[in-house]
Structure 1
Protein backbone atom coordinates (compact mmCIF):
# COMPACT_ATOMS: atom_id res chain seq x y z
CA UNK A 1 0.00 0.00 0.00
CA UNK A 2 1.28 3.40 -0.86
CA UNK A 3 1.75 6.11 1.79
CA UNK A 4 -1.23 7.93 0.26
CA UNK A 5 -3.59 5.43 1.84
CA UNK A 6 -2.79 7.05 5.16
CA UNK A 7 -3.95 10.49 3.97
CA UNK A 8 -7.50 11.47 4.88
CA UNK A 9 -9.09 12.70 1.69
CA UNK A 10 -7.34 12.78 -1.65
CA UNK A 11 -4.07 10.87 -1.65
CA UNK A 12 -1.25 12.21 -3.73
CA UNK A 13 -1.16 9.02 -5.74
CA UNK A 14 -3.14 10.67 -8.52
CA UNK A 15 -3.16 9.26 -12.01
CA UNK A 16 -5.73 6.59 -11.42
CA UNK A 17 -9.01 5.84 -13.14
CA UNK A 18 -12.03 3.64 -13.59
CA UNK A 19 -11.82 1.27 -16.50
CA UNK A 20 -14.61 1.05 -19.01
CA UNK A 21 -14.08 -2.70 -18.87
CA UNK A 22 -16.41 -3.05 -15.88
CA UNK A 23 -16.16 -4.24 -12.28
CA UNK A 24 -15.93 -7.99 -12.73
CA UNK A 25 -12.26 -8.20 -13.69
CA UNK A 26 -12.96 -11.40 -15.62
CA UNK A 27 -10.41 -12.54 -18.17
CA UNK A 28 -12.84 -11.78 -20.97
CA UNK A 29 -12.87 -8.13 -19.88
CA UNK A 30 -9.14 -7.66 -20.19
CA UNK A 31 -7.49 -5.89 -23.10
CA UNK A 32 -6.66 -8.35 -25.92
CA UNK A 33 -3.01 -9.30 -26.42
CA UNK A 34 -0.88 -7.21 -28.75
CA UNK A 35 1.42 -8.84 -31.28
CA UNK A 36 4.69 -7.65 -29.80
CA UNK A 37 6.02 -7.31 -26.27
CA UNK A 38 7.75 -4.29 -24.78
CA UNK A 39 11.07 -4.53 -23.01
CA UNK A 40 10.82 -5.63 -19.40
CA UNK A 41 9.76 -2.88 -16.99
CA UNK A 42 9.41 -0.34 -19.81
CA UNK A 43 6.35 1.77 -20.60
CA UNK A 44 4.96 1.88 -24.13
CA UNK A 45 3.65 5.27 -25.31
CA UNK A 46 -0.13 5.23 -25.69
CA UNK A 47 -1.60 8.47 -24.39
CA UNK A 48 -5.10 9.20 -25.67
CA UNK A 49 -5.71 11.90 -28.25
CA UNK A 50 -6.97 15.21 -26.81
CA UNK A 51 -10.26 15.00 -28.73
CA UNK A 52 -11.06 11.59 -27.19
CA UNK A 53 -10.54 13.01 -23.71
CA UNK A 54 -12.65 16.07 -24.54
CA UNK A 55 -15.46 13.82 -25.73
CA UNK A 56 -15.30 11.80 -22.52
CA UNK A 57 -15.44 14.88 -20.33
CA UNK A 58 -18.26 16.39 -22.37
CA UNK A 59 -20.33 13.23 -21.93
CA UNK A 60 -20.04 13.26 -18.13
CA UNK A 61 -22.42 14.99 -15.81
CA UNK A 62 -19.98 14.61 -12.93
CA UNK A 63 -18.39 17.92 -11.85
CA UNK A 64 -15.52 15.88 -10.40
CA UNK A 65 -14.96 13.95 -13.63
CA UNK A 66 -11.36 13.13 -14.46
CA UNK A 67 -10.43 11.74 -17.90
CA UNK A 68 -7.60 9.23 -17.75
CA UNK A 69 -5.53 7.73 -20.52
CA UNK A 70 -3.15 4.79 -20.27
CA UNK A 71 0.52 4.85 -21.18
CA UNK A 72 1.93 1.39 -21.71
CA UNK A 73 -1.13 -0.50 -22.94
CA UNK A 74 -3.68 -0.32 -25.73
CA UNK A 75 -6.63 0.67 -23.54
CA UNK A 76 -9.20 3.39 -24.25
CA UNK A 77 -9.37 6.50 -22.05
CA UNK A 78 -11.94 6.33 -19.27
CA UNK A 79 -13.65 8.54 -16.72
CA UNK A 80 -13.08 8.48 -12.99
CA UNK A 81 -14.50 10.66 -10.24
CA UNK A 82 -11.92 12.75 -8.44
CA UNK A 83 -11.66 11.88 -4.74
CA UNK A 84 -13.36 8.47 -5.02
CA UNK A 85 -11.87 5.02 -4.88
CA UNK A 86 -11.71 3.67 -8.38
CA UNK A 87 -13.06 0.55 -9.98
CA UNK A 88 -10.98 -2.17 -11.62
CA UNK A 89 -8.19 -1.02 -13.89
CA UNK A 90 -7.45 -2.84 -17.16
CA UNK A 91 -5.19 -5.87 -16.90
CA UNK A 92 -3.60 -5.95 -20.36
CA UNK A 93 -1.83 -8.94 -21.82
CA UNK A 94 1.08 -8.99 -24.26
CA UNK A 95 2.77 -11.93 -25.85
CA UNK A 96 6.20 -12.44 -24.32
CA UNK A 97 5.63 -10.16 -21.31
CA UNK A 98 3.87 -10.16 -17.93
CA UNK A 99 1.99 -7.08 -16.78
CA UNK A 100 3.40 -5.49 -13.62
CA UNK A 101 0.75 -2.93 -12.75
CA UNK A 102 -0.13 0.75 -13.07
CA UNK A 103 1.97 3.53 -11.59
CA UNK A 104 1.73 7.22 -10.89
CA UNK A 105 4.61 8.28 -13.15
CA UNK A 106 6.84 6.73 -15.81
CA UNK A 107 9.91 6.61 -13.57
CA UNK A 108 7.98 4.66 -10.93
CA UNK A 109 6.74 2.30 -13.65
CA UNK A 110 10.28 1.71 -14.86
CA UNK A 111 11.38 0.89 -11.28
CA UNK A 112 8.16 -0.98 -10.51
CA UNK A 113 8.03 1.05 -7.33
CA UNK A 114 5.38 -0.62 -5.14
CA UNK A 115 4.80 2.62 -3.21
CA UNK A 116 3.61 4.30 -6.41
CA UNK A 117 1.55 1.37 -7.72
CA UNK A 118 -2.18 2.07 -7.82
CA UNK A 119 -5.37 0.00 -7.83
CA UNK A 120 -8.86 -0.08 -6.30
CA UNK A 121 -7.53 0.52 -2.78
CA UNK A 122 -6.53 4.08 -3.80
CA UNK A 123 -8.48 7.27 -4.31
CA UNK A 124 -8.18 9.46 -7.39
CA UNK A 125 -6.57 12.88 -7.04
CA UNK A 126 -6.94 14.62 -10.38
CA UNK A 127 -5.03 17.68 -9.22
CA UNK A 128 -5.82 21.09 -10.66
CA UNK A 129 -6.88 19.73 -14.05
CA UNK A 130 -9.33 17.16 -15.33
CA UNK A 131 -6.94 14.74 -17.07
CA UNK A 132 -4.45 12.17 -15.87
CA UNK A 133 -2.16 9.54 -17.34
CA UNK A 134 -1.54 6.17 -15.73
CA UNK A 135 1.71 4.36 -16.62
CA UNK A 136 2.01 0.61 -17.12
CA UNK A 137 5.02 -1.61 -16.35
CA UNK A 138 6.01 -5.02 -17.68
CA UNK A 139 8.35 -7.88 -16.77
CA UNK A 140 9.78 -10.69 -18.85
CA UNK A 141 8.25 -14.14 -18.25
CA UNK A 142 11.63 -15.31 -16.94
CA UNK A 143 11.79 -12.45 -14.47
CA UNK A 144 8.21 -13.07 -13.32
CA UNK A 145 8.87 -16.80 -12.88
CA UNK A 146 11.89 -16.03 -10.71
CA UNK A 147 9.90 -14.03 -8.17
CA UNK A 148 8.85 -15.77 -4.96
CA UNK A 149 5.61 -13.98 -4.03
CA UNK A 150 2.97 -15.58 -1.83
CA UNK A 151 -0.16 -13.58 -1.03
CA UNK A 152 -1.79 -14.08 2.38
CA UNK A 153 -5.59 -13.87 2.44
CA UNK A 154 -6.20 -12.89 6.05
CA UNK A 155 -9.33 -14.38 7.64
CA UNK A 156 -11.13 -12.62 10.49
CA UNK A 157 -14.55 -13.41 11.99
CA UNK A 158 -16.06 -11.59 14.99
CA UNK A 159 -14.58 -8.71 17.00
CA UNK A 160 -14.62 -7.69 20.65
CA UNK A 161 -13.52 -4.59 22.53
CA UNK A 162 -12.69 -6.76 25.58
CA UNK A 163 -8.94 -7.48 25.76
CA UNK A 164 -9.67 -10.63 27.78
CA UNK A 165 -11.80 -11.99 24.96
CA UNK A 166 -15.28 -13.49 25.15
CA UNK A 167 -16.77 -16.54 26.86
CA UNK A 168 -17.79 -18.45 23.76
CA UNK A 169 -17.16 -21.99 22.47
CA UNK A 170 -15.76 -20.28 19.34
CA UNK A 171 -13.62 -17.94 21.41
CA UNK A 172 -10.73 -18.10 18.93
CA UNK A 173 -12.97 -16.63 16.20
CA UNK A 174 -13.14 -13.34 18.09
CA UNK A 175 -10.37 -10.83 17.40
CA UNK A 176 -9.63 -8.14 19.95
CA UNK A 177 -10.31 -4.78 18.31
CA UNK A 178 -7.05 -3.38 19.64
CA UNK A 179 -5.12 -6.16 17.90
CA UNK A 180 -7.07 -5.57 14.68
CA UNK A 181 -6.20 -1.88 14.78
CA UNK A 182 -2.51 -2.74 15.20
CA UNK A 183 -2.71 -5.21 12.29
CA UNK A 184 -4.31 -2.71 9.90
CA UNK A 185 -1.96 0.08 10.97
CA UNK A 186 0.98 -2.21 10.18
CA UNK A 187 -0.32 -2.97 6.68
CA UNK A 188 -0.84 0.73 6.03
CA UNK A 189 2.43 1.97 7.54
CA UNK A 190 4.52 -0.73 5.88
CA UNK A 191 3.09 0.01 2.44
CA UNK A 192 1.37 -3.30 1.76
CA UNK A 193 -0.26 -3.58 -1.64
CA UNK A 194 -3.88 -4.72 -1.47
CA UNK A 195 -4.74 -6.61 -4.67
CA UNK A 196 -8.25 -6.71 -6.06
CA UNK A 197 -9.75 -10.14 -6.67
CA UNK A 198 -9.29 -9.75 -10.43
CA UNK A 199 -5.63 -8.95 -9.82
CA UNK A 200 -5.28 -12.04 -7.65
CA UNK A 201 -6.87 -14.13 -10.40
CA UNK A 202 -4.43 -12.76 -13.00
CA UNK A 203 -1.54 -13.35 -10.58
CA UNK A 204 -2.59 -16.99 -10.17
CA UNK A 205 -2.74 -17.34 -13.96
CA UNK A 206 0.79 -15.96 -14.30
CA UNK A 207 -0.49 -12.87 -16.14
CA UNK A 208 0.33 -10.31 -13.43
CA UNK A 209 3.28 -9.57 -11.17
CA UNK A 210 2.34 -8.56 -7.62
CA UNK A 211 4.63 -6.80 -5.13
CA UNK A 212 6.33 -8.98 -2.55
CA UNK A 213 4.42 -7.16 0.21
CA UNK A 214 0.85 -7.91 -0.87
CA UNK A 215 -2.09 -9.01 1.29
CA UNK A 216 -5.88 -9.36 1.15
CA UNK A 217 -8.00 -8.71 4.26
CA UNK A 218 -11.25 -10.70 4.62
CA UNK A 219 -13.99 -11.18 7.19
CA UNK A 220 -16.52 -14.02 7.30
CA UNK A 221 -20.21 -13.66 8.22
CA UNK A 222 -20.60 -9.83 8.42
CA UNK A 223 -21.33 -10.07 12.16
CA UNK A 224 -22.56 -6.86 13.83
CA UNK A 225 -19.17 -6.51 15.53
CA UNK A 226 -17.58 -6.24 12.08
CA UNK A 227 -19.62 -3.11 11.40
CA UNK A 228 -19.16 -1.64 14.87
CA UNK A 229 -15.50 -2.35 15.58
CA UNK A 230 -13.67 -3.30 12.39
CA UNK A 231 -15.03 -1.07 9.61
CA UNK A 232 -14.08 2.19 11.40
CA UNK A 233 -10.51 0.88 11.62
CA UNK A 234 -10.44 0.16 7.89
CA UNK A 235 -11.71 3.67 7.19
CA UNK A 236 -9.15 5.24 9.50
CA UNK A 237 -6.20 3.45 7.88
CA UNK A 238 -7.61 3.35 4.33
CA UNK A 239 -7.27 -0.43 4.15
CA UNK A 240 -9.34 -2.28 1.54
CA UNK A 241 -11.08 -5.43 2.83
CA UNK A 242 -13.66 -7.98 1.72
CA UNK A 243 -16.67 -8.93 3.82
CA UNK A 244 -18.09 -12.36 2.97
CA UNK A 245 -21.83 -11.88 3.49
CA UNK A 246 -24.57 -14.46 4.04
CA UNK A 247 -27.18 -12.68 1.94
CA UNK A 248 -30.16 -14.46 3.56
CA UNK A 249 -29.15 -12.66 6.75
CA UNK A 250 -27.91 -9.35 5.36
CA UNK A 251 -28.65 -7.47 2.16
CA UNK A 252 -27.79 -3.86 2.96
CA UNK A 253 -25.21 -1.94 0.96
CA UNK A 254 -21.56 -1.87 1.92
CA UNK A 255 -20.81 0.15 5.06
CA UNK A 256 -17.69 1.73 3.58
CA UNK A 257 -15.94 2.44 0.27
CA UNK A 258 -13.11 0.33 1.71
CA UNK A 259 -15.32 -2.77 2.09
CA UNK A 260 -16.07 -5.07 -0.84
CA UNK A 261 -19.06 -7.30 -0.09
CA UNK A 262 -18.79 -10.77 -1.61
CA UNK A 263 -20.66 -14.06 -1.23
CA UNK A 264 -20.65 -16.36 1.78
CA UNK A 265 -23.62 -18.02 0.00
CA UNK A 266 -27.28 -17.06 0.30
CA UNK A 267 -28.67 -19.93 2.38
CA UNK A 268 -25.92 -22.52 2.77
CA UNK A 269 -24.45 -21.45 6.09
CA UNK A 270 -26.35 -24.23 7.87
CA UNK A 271 -25.76 -27.95 8.38
CA UNK A 272 -26.97 -30.38 5.76
CA UNK A 273 -28.32 -33.91 6.21
CA UNK A 274 -25.01 -35.35 7.42
CA UNK A 275 -24.30 -32.51 9.86
CA UNK A 276 -21.72 -30.90 7.58
CA UNK A 277 -22.39 -27.77 5.57
CA UNK A 278 -24.97 -27.64 2.82
CA UNK A 279 -22.14 -26.92 0.41
CA UNK A 280 -21.20 -30.62 0.65
CA UNK A 281 -24.77 -31.92 0.88
CA UNK A 282 -26.63 -30.14 -1.87
CA UNK A 283 -26.28 -30.93 -5.57
CA UNK A 284 -24.08 -28.83 -7.82
CA UNK A 285 -27.26 -27.42 -9.39
CA UNK A 286 -28.68 -26.40 -6.00
CA UNK A 287 -25.36 -24.85 -5.01
CA UNK A 288 -25.18 -22.85 -8.25
CA UNK A 289 -28.76 -21.59 -7.82
CA UNK A 290 -28.05 -20.43 -4.26
CA UNK A 291 -24.86 -18.64 -5.33
CA UNK A 292 -26.62 -16.89 -8.21
CA UNK A 293 -29.12 -15.55 -5.69
CA UNK A 294 -26.31 -14.16 -3.53
CA UNK A 295 -24.59 -12.68 -6.60
CA UNK A 296 -27.82 -10.89 -7.55
CA UNK A 297 -28.07 -9.39 -4.05
CA UNK A 298 -24.42 -8.30 -3.95
CA UNK A 299 -23.97 -7.37 -7.60
CA UNK A 300 -20.70 -9.33 -7.75
CA UNK A 301 -19.66 -12.85 -8.69
CA UNK A 302 -15.87 -12.87 -8.35
CA UNK A 303 -15.29 -14.99 -5.27
CA UNK A 304 -17.10 -16.89 -2.51
CA UNK A 305 -16.08 -18.16 0.93
CA UNK A 306 -17.12 -21.75 1.69
CA UNK A 307 -19.32 -21.89 4.83
CA UNK A 308 -17.46 -23.71 7.62
CA UNK A 309 -14.68 -24.27 5.07
CA UNK A 310 -16.54 -27.34 3.77
CA UNK A 311 -16.19 -28.10 0.06
CA UNK A 312 -15.67 -30.96 -2.37
CA UNK A 313 -15.57 -31.43 -6.13
CA UNK A 314 -19.36 -31.08 -6.31
CA UNK A 315 -19.08 -27.75 -4.46
CA UNK A 316 -16.45 -26.54 -6.88
CA UNK A 317 -18.65 -27.46 -9.86
CA UNK A 318 -21.52 -25.49 -8.36
CA UNK A 319 -19.30 -22.45 -7.77
CA UNK A 320 -18.00 -22.52 -11.34
CA UNK A 321 -21.47 -23.13 -12.82
CA UNK A 322 -22.75 -20.07 -10.93
CA UNK A 323 -20.17 -17.96 -12.76
CA UNK A 324 -17.73 -17.41 -9.88
CA UNK A 325 -14.00 -17.37 -10.63
CA UNK A 326 -12.59 -18.13 -7.17
CA UNK A 327 -13.44 -19.61 -3.77
CA UNK A 328 -11.60 -19.36 -0.47
CA UNK A 329 -11.27 -22.13 2.12
CA UNK A 330 -10.09 -22.17 5.73
CA UNK A 331 -7.05 -24.27 4.84
CA UNK A 332 -3.78 -22.57 5.79
CA UNK A 333 -1.29 -21.20 3.31
CA UNK A 334 -0.36 -18.41 0.92
CA UNK A 335 -1.70 -17.98 -2.60
CA UNK A 336 0.92 -18.49 -5.31
CA UNK A 337 0.84 -18.68 -9.12
CA UNK A 338 -0.84 -21.87 -10.29
CA UNK A 339 -3.03 -22.23 -7.18
CA UNK A 340 -6.42 -23.93 -7.43
CA UNK A 341 -8.74 -20.93 -7.79
CA UNK A 342 -11.67 -22.86 -6.33
CA UNK A 343 -9.74 -23.90 -3.20
CA UNK A 344 -7.63 -20.92 -2.15
CA UNK A 345 -5.95 -21.07 1.28
CA UNK A 346 -6.19 -18.34 3.91
CA UNK A 347 -4.30 -17.20 6.98
CA UNK A 348 -6.53 -17.54 10.03
CA UNK A 349 -6.38 -14.73 12.60
CA UNK A 350 -7.27 -16.09 16.04
CA UNK A 351 -8.05 -14.28 19.27
CA UNK A 352 -4.89 -13.11 21.00
CA UNK A 353 -2.77 -12.78 17.85
CA UNK A 354 -0.57 -9.81 18.66
CA UNK A 355 1.41 -7.76 16.20
CA UNK A 356 4.54 -9.92 16.26
CA UNK A 357 2.59 -13.09 15.42
CA UNK A 358 0.57 -11.19 12.82
CA UNK A 359 3.72 -10.01 11.03
CA UNK A 360 5.05 -13.56 11.02
CA UNK A 361 1.78 -14.82 9.50
CA UNK A 362 2.22 -12.57 6.48
CA UNK A 363 5.04 -14.80 5.27
Structure 2
Protein backbone atom coordinates (compact mmCIF):
# COMPACT_ATOMS: atom_id res chain seq x y z
CA UNK A 1 0.00 0.00 0.00
CA UNK A 2 1.26 3.50 -0.81
CA UNK A 3 0.07 7.05 -0.33
CA UNK A 4 0.48 10.42 -2.01
CA UNK A 5 1.40 13.57 -0.12
CA UNK A 6 0.08 16.84 -1.56
CA UNK A 7 2.05 20.05 -1.04
CA UNK A 8 0.36 23.45 -1.10
CA UNK A 9 1.67 26.93 -0.27
CA UNK A 10 -0.79 29.67 -1.22
CA UNK A 11 -4.37 29.95 -2.49
CA UNK A 12 -5.94 32.87 -4.33
CA UNK A 13 -9.23 33.60 -6.03
CA UNK A 14 -8.79 33.21 -9.77
CA UNK A 15 -9.37 36.86 -10.64
CA UNK A 16 -6.76 38.06 -8.14
CA UNK A 17 -4.03 35.62 -9.15
CA UNK A 18 -1.33 36.98 -11.44
CA UNK A 19 0.55 33.95 -12.80
CA UNK A 20 3.30 36.16 -14.25
CA UNK A 21 4.14 37.89 -10.94
CA UNK A 22 5.78 36.29 -7.87
CA UNK A 23 4.47 37.32 -4.47
CA UNK A 24 6.73 39.11 -1.96
CA UNK A 25 6.65 37.44 1.45
CA UNK A 26 6.13 39.38 4.66
CA UNK A 27 7.24 37.62 7.83
CA UNK A 28 8.37 38.57 11.33
CA UNK A 29 11.96 37.48 10.67
CA UNK A 30 14.15 39.99 8.86
CA UNK A 31 14.09 38.06 5.60
CA UNK A 32 12.85 38.91 2.11
CA UNK A 33 12.01 36.54 -0.71
CA UNK A 34 9.53 36.06 -3.51
CA UNK A 35 7.07 33.18 -3.65
CA UNK A 36 6.93 31.91 -7.25
CA UNK A 37 3.52 32.02 -8.88
CA UNK A 38 3.70 28.29 -9.63
CA UNK A 39 3.34 27.67 -5.87
CA UNK A 40 -0.14 29.22 -5.89
CA UNK A 41 -3.38 27.41 -6.64
CA UNK A 42 -6.68 29.06 -7.37
CA UNK A 43 -9.44 28.74 -4.80
CA UNK A 44 -11.64 27.28 -7.50
CA UNK A 45 -9.12 24.52 -8.28
CA UNK A 46 -8.49 23.80 -4.60
CA UNK A 47 -12.22 23.44 -3.96
CA UNK A 48 -12.55 21.09 -6.94
CA UNK A 49 -9.61 19.00 -5.75
CA UNK A 50 -10.95 18.65 -2.22
CA UNK A 51 -14.45 17.86 -3.52
CA UNK A 52 -12.95 15.09 -5.65
CA UNK A 53 -11.18 13.59 -2.62
CA UNK A 54 -14.44 13.72 -0.68
CA UNK A 55 -16.60 12.21 -3.42
CA UNK A 56 -14.06 9.44 -4.01
CA UNK A 57 -13.94 8.60 -0.29
CA UNK A 58 -10.27 9.36 0.21
CA UNK A 59 -8.95 9.04 3.75
CA UNK A 60 -6.93 12.09 4.80
CA UNK A 61 -4.05 10.76 6.86
CA UNK A 62 -2.78 12.12 10.16
CA UNK A 63 0.90 12.17 11.10
CA UNK A 64 0.44 9.51 13.82
CA UNK A 65 -1.06 7.24 11.16
CA UNK A 66 1.93 7.81 8.88
CA UNK A 67 4.36 7.11 11.72
CA UNK A 68 2.50 3.91 12.59
CA UNK A 69 2.65 2.88 8.92
CA UNK A 70 6.45 3.15 8.91
CA UNK A 71 7.35 2.08 12.43
CA UNK A 72 4.60 -0.33 13.52
CA UNK A 73 3.65 -1.98 10.20
CA UNK A 74 0.18 -0.48 10.54
CA UNK A 75 -2.11 -0.60 7.54
CA UNK A 76 -3.64 2.47 5.92
CA UNK A 77 -6.81 2.62 3.82
CA UNK A 78 -6.37 1.91 0.12
CA UNK A 79 -7.38 5.46 -0.79
CA UNK A 80 -5.14 7.51 1.49
CA UNK A 81 -3.68 10.96 0.99
CA UNK A 82 -1.69 13.32 3.22
CA UNK A 83 -2.52 17.01 2.73
CA UNK A 84 0.27 19.45 3.66
CA UNK A 85 0.86 23.19 3.58
CA UNK A 86 4.16 25.01 4.03
CA UNK A 87 4.92 28.36 5.70
CA UNK A 88 1.42 29.23 7.04
CA UNK A 89 0.41 32.23 4.97
CA UNK A 90 -2.90 34.07 5.35
CA UNK A 91 -4.73 31.99 2.75
CA UNK A 92 -4.43 29.03 5.10
CA UNK A 93 -6.99 30.74 7.34
CA UNK A 94 -9.10 32.49 4.72
CA UNK A 95 -9.35 29.76 2.07
CA UNK A 96 -7.85 26.38 2.98
CA UNK A 97 -9.27 25.98 6.47
CA UNK A 98 -12.97 26.51 5.62
CA UNK A 99 -12.81 24.05 2.71
CA UNK A 100 -10.97 21.38 4.69
CA UNK A 101 -13.29 21.80 7.68
CA UNK A 102 -16.36 21.45 5.46
CA UNK A 103 -15.24 17.96 4.47
CA UNK A 104 -13.91 17.03 7.92
CA UNK A 105 -10.44 16.56 6.43
CA UNK A 106 -7.16 16.28 8.30
CA UNK A 107 -4.15 18.32 7.18
CA UNK A 108 -0.61 19.25 8.23
CA UNK A 109 1.00 22.69 8.27
CA UNK A 110 4.78 22.99 8.45
CA UNK A 111 5.57 26.06 10.53
CA UNK A 112 8.54 28.44 10.40
CA UNK A 113 8.06 29.66 13.96
CA UNK A 114 10.36 32.66 13.55
CA UNK A 115 8.14 33.88 10.71
CA UNK A 116 4.89 34.04 12.69
CA UNK A 117 3.67 37.58 13.20
CA UNK A 118 2.79 38.91 16.65
CA UNK A 119 -0.41 40.59 15.50
CA UNK A 120 -2.80 39.68 12.67
CA UNK A 121 -2.69 41.84 9.56
CA UNK A 122 -5.46 42.61 7.05
CA UNK A 123 -5.68 40.02 4.29
CA UNK A 124 -3.56 41.21 1.36
CA UNK A 125 -3.77 39.20 -1.85
CA UNK A 126 -0.73 41.00 -3.28
CA UNK A 127 1.62 39.62 -0.61
CA UNK A 128 2.28 36.35 1.18
CA UNK A 129 1.90 37.31 4.85
CA UNK A 130 2.40 34.84 7.68
CA UNK A 131 -0.29 34.21 10.25
CA UNK A 132 0.02 34.47 14.03
CA UNK A 133 0.40 31.67 16.54
CA UNK A 134 -3.11 32.32 17.85
CA UNK A 135 -4.65 32.09 14.37
CA UNK A 136 -2.98 28.74 13.84
CA UNK A 137 -4.14 27.44 17.21
CA UNK A 138 -7.70 28.35 16.22
CA UNK A 139 -7.41 25.92 13.30
CA UNK A 140 -6.23 23.03 15.46
CA UNK A 141 -9.38 21.02 14.75
CA UNK A 142 -8.12 20.53 11.18
CA UNK A 143 -4.37 21.06 11.23
CA UNK A 144 -1.47 19.33 12.91
CA UNK A 145 1.65 21.51 13.13
CA UNK A 146 5.17 20.28 12.46
CA UNK A 147 8.73 21.62 12.24
CA UNK A 148 9.85 23.74 9.28
CA UNK A 149 12.72 25.41 11.25
CA UNK A 150 12.64 28.51 13.45
CA UNK A 151 14.68 30.94 11.36
CA UNK A 152 16.57 28.65 8.96
CA UNK A 153 14.07 29.05 6.11
CA UNK A 154 16.64 30.96 4.08
CA UNK A 155 17.67 30.20 0.52
CA UNK A 156 21.27 31.07 -0.32
CA UNK A 157 21.06 30.03 -3.97
CA UNK A 158 18.82 27.74 -6.05
CA UNK A 159 20.44 24.57 -4.67
CA UNK A 160 21.44 25.57 -1.14
CA UNK A 161 19.56 26.51 2.02
CA UNK A 162 20.89 27.69 5.37
CA UNK A 163 20.79 24.27 7.03
CA UNK A 164 23.12 22.85 4.38
CA UNK A 165 25.96 25.27 5.25
CA UNK A 166 25.43 25.43 9.01
CA UNK A 167 27.10 23.28 11.65
CA UNK A 168 25.21 20.39 13.20
CA UNK A 169 25.03 22.35 16.44
CA UNK A 170 23.50 25.41 14.75
CA UNK A 171 20.93 23.36 12.87
CA UNK A 172 20.13 21.32 15.98
CA UNK A 173 19.55 24.45 18.05
CA UNK A 174 17.24 25.87 15.40
CA UNK A 175 15.18 22.68 15.32
CA UNK A 176 14.88 22.84 19.10
CA UNK A 177 13.75 26.48 18.97
CA UNK A 178 10.98 25.57 16.57
CA UNK A 179 9.84 22.63 18.67
CA UNK A 180 9.89 24.79 21.81
CA UNK A 181 6.85 26.64 20.45
CA UNK A 182 3.77 25.12 22.07
CA UNK A 183 2.01 25.35 18.71
CA UNK A 184 4.03 22.42 17.35
CA UNK A 185 1.96 19.28 17.86
CA UNK A 186 4.24 16.90 15.92
CA UNK A 187 7.81 17.69 17.01
CA UNK A 188 9.20 14.50 15.44
CA UNK A 189 8.17 15.56 11.95
CA UNK A 190 10.11 17.92 9.65
CA UNK A 191 9.91 19.37 6.14
CA UNK A 192 13.12 20.41 4.40
CA UNK A 193 13.02 24.10 3.49
CA UNK A 194 12.77 24.59 -0.29
CA UNK A 195 12.98 20.78 -0.47
CA UNK A 196 16.77 21.05 -0.10
CA UNK A 197 18.99 18.92 2.15
CA UNK A 198 22.28 17.06 2.36
CA UNK A 199 23.45 13.86 4.03
CA UNK A 200 24.49 15.71 7.18
CA UNK A 201 20.97 17.13 7.59
CA UNK A 202 19.42 13.68 7.30
CA UNK A 203 21.90 12.22 9.79
CA UNK A 204 21.18 14.97 12.30
CA UNK A 205 17.43 14.45 12.06
CA UNK A 206 17.97 10.74 12.69
CA UNK A 207 20.25 11.49 15.65
CA UNK A 208 17.60 13.81 17.13
CA UNK A 209 15.03 11.03 16.74
CA UNK A 210 12.85 12.69 14.11
CA UNK A 211 10.49 10.05 12.73
CA UNK A 212 9.40 11.62 9.44
CA UNK A 213 10.91 14.21 7.09
CA UNK A 214 9.44 15.42 3.82
CA UNK A 215 11.13 16.57 0.63
CA UNK A 216 9.40 18.27 -2.31
CA UNK A 217 10.20 15.50 -4.78
CA UNK A 218 7.19 14.24 -6.71
CA UNK A 219 5.97 10.69 -6.31
CA UNK A 220 4.18 8.26 -4.04
CA UNK A 221 5.40 6.96 -0.69
CA UNK A 222 5.78 3.24 -0.03
CA UNK A 223 6.60 1.36 3.15
CA UNK A 224 10.07 0.53 1.79
CA UNK A 225 11.14 4.18 1.58
CA UNK A 226 13.38 6.02 4.02
CA UNK A 227 10.87 7.85 6.28
CA UNK A 228 13.29 10.80 6.46
CA UNK A 229 13.08 11.23 2.67
CA UNK A 230 9.37 11.11 1.98
CA UNK A 231 8.02 12.56 -1.24
CA UNK A 232 5.54 15.40 -1.60
CA UNK A 233 3.97 16.41 -4.88
CA UNK A 234 3.72 20.17 -5.37
CA UNK A 235 0.28 21.21 -6.62
CA UNK A 236 0.92 24.17 -8.96
CA UNK A 237 -1.53 26.85 -10.09
CA UNK A 238 -1.93 25.47 -13.61
CA UNK A 239 -2.85 21.88 -12.62
CA UNK A 240 -6.25 20.83 -13.94
CA UNK A 241 -8.44 18.23 -12.29
CA UNK A 242 -7.59 15.37 -14.70
CA UNK A 243 -3.89 15.83 -13.88
CA UNK A 244 -4.70 15.95 -10.17
CA UNK A 245 -6.52 12.63 -10.51
CA UNK A 246 -3.50 11.13 -12.29
CA UNK A 247 -1.22 12.09 -9.39
CA UNK A 248 -3.46 10.30 -6.93
CA UNK A 249 -3.58 7.17 -9.06
CA UNK A 250 0.15 7.05 -9.88
TM-score with structure 1 length normalisation? 0.56
Alpha-carbon distance change, 299 to 192 in structure 1, aligned in 2, over 3 angstroms: closer
Q: Look up the match of 2:65.
A: 199
Aligned: 1:264 with 2:116? no
Structure 1 stretches of 4+ moved >6 Å: none
Q: Is the 8 A contact 1:304 1:328 kept in 2?
A: yes
Q: Distance in 1 between matches of 2:104 and 2:240?
A: 21
Higher helix content, 1 or 2: 2
Name which of 78, 83, 104 aligns with 1:238: 104
SS at match of 1:152: strand
Q: Look up the match of 2:239.
A: 353
Alpha-carbon distance change, 213 to 161 in structure 1, aligned in 2, over 3 angstroms: same
Q: Look up the match of 2:170.
A: 286
Q: Distance in 2 between matches of 1:178 and 1:362?
A: 19
Q: Is the 8 A contact 2:112 2:153 kept in 1?
A: yes
Name which of 147, 160, 164 aligns with 2:12: 160
Q: Look up the match of 2:32.
A: none
Q: Distance in 2 between matches of 1:236 and 1:230?
A: 10
Q: Distance in 1 between matches of 2:154 and 2:188?
A: 22
Give 1:164 deviation, angstroms. 7.2
Q: Is the 8 A contact 2:62 2:107 kept in 1?
A: no
Q: Is the 8 A contact 2:144 2:186 kept in 1?
A: no
Higher strand content, 1 or 2: 2
SS at match of 2:84: strand
Alpha-carbon distance change, 274 to 281 in structure 1, aligned in 2, over 3 angstroms: farther
Q: Look up the match of 1:327.
A: 213
Aligned: 1:189 with 2:55? yes
Give 1:303 deviation, angstroms. 1.0
Query: Using CA pairs below 8 Å that are at least 6 residues apart, which structure has the higher relative contact order?
Result: 2
Q: Is the 8 A contact 2:161 2:194 kept in 1?
A: yes
- Computed over aligned residues only, the root mean square deviation of the Cα atoms, in angstroms, reads 2.0
Q: Looking at CA atoms only, which structure, 1 or 2, has the larger radius of gyration? A: 1
